[in-house]
Amino acid sequence: MNPETTMLLVNAVVIAVAYTLVYPRYAGSQMSKLTFYDLLISLMPLSIAWWLYGDSGHQFNAIIFQTNWFVFTLATYFIIEMPMTIGYMRAYIKDPDDKR
């Protein structure tokens, strides 16, 4: 498996576990806890990428440019996480101005 696919899978698995198990159980609708847990969990794919590719010098193909492991992992994590974040916010974070 090539490094790009490996990191995309790592990102997807970490995000899936975070948004289906960790955040609902430990953060719920508390934004401060959600932010704290998201910061901790976001470090996991970066740590794995560093462990696998930190000293390799491998250039990751990000379709429109070549980049290092850090930028590739961070950018793809953000892209994969955004739809999950929006869905989680809609389900768990209630707007105090919403009168429904």
pLDDT for the residue numbered 93: 82
Q: What is the pTM assigned to this prediction?
A: 0.87
Contact at 8 Å (CB) between 47 and 7? no
pLDDT for the residue numbered 37: 96
10: Cβ–Cβ under 8 A, 6 or more apart, which residues? Answer: 45, 48, 49
pLDDT for the residue numbered 45: 97
55: Cβ–Cβ under 8 A, 6 or more apart, which residues? Answer: none
How wide is the angle at C-alpha 70 spanned by C-alphas 86 and 58, nearest 5°?
135
pLDDT for the residue numbered 94: 75
pLDDT for the residue numbered 4: 94
The parts of the chain modelled with pLDDT lower than 50 are: none
pLDDT for the residue numbered 7: 95
pLDDT for the residue numbered 99: 57
pLDDT for the residue numbered 100: 55
pLDDT for the residue numbered 64: 87
pLDDT for the residue numbered 15: 97
